Amino acid sequence: MKKPFRFPEPKPGDLIEIFRPFYRHWAIYVGDGYVVHLAPPSEVAGAGAASVMSALTDKAIVKKELLYDVAGSDKYQVNNKHDDKYSPLPCSKIIQRAEELVGQEVLYKLTSENCEHFVNELRYGVARSDQVRDVIIAASVAGMGLAAMSLIGVMFSRNKRQKQ
């Protein structure tokens, strides 16, 4: 029995965001229940947290698999989040480009050539990953916070020494 789609039902060319325990996996819907996605060679459909370890590889395989199998027990949704910023390529071109890549081994870098970059390149012609951007911003904010706390600590200890 096929697992029902979460609403809205995907249309060919849609970006599919799959909610893994520690990150989001991305695929592009190509119709008839199938998606094309970028997966490290060790990626197992529905692997969830175990697939986080596969991010340490530098190669990936472009796979065409049933969305049901790729999502496994993880929730997913259609998320064409950049449609307001970029015009999607024609659906036929998105699918043609995706299908032509199936089976190819490609370079994989968590920060610049991951599954989110891959599907955005297919849909919009622009490789981008908000997950990577968000992590970099969070790390920068955390770093600035630590630096500010260190500076306050140094100033406090100097002030304390001056009073003694």
- Residues serving a catalytic function are 25, 37, 115
Q: Which residues contact 15 (CB under 8 A, 6 or more apart)?
A: 26, 27, 28, 29, 78, 79, 80, 81, 119, 120, 123
Tell me the C-alpha distance between 113 and 107, whole Å: 7
Q: At what angle do helices 115-124 and 130-163 cross, to 10 degrees?
A: 130
Stated length of the chain = 164
What number of CA atoms fall less than 13 Å from residue 89's CA on the CB side? 18
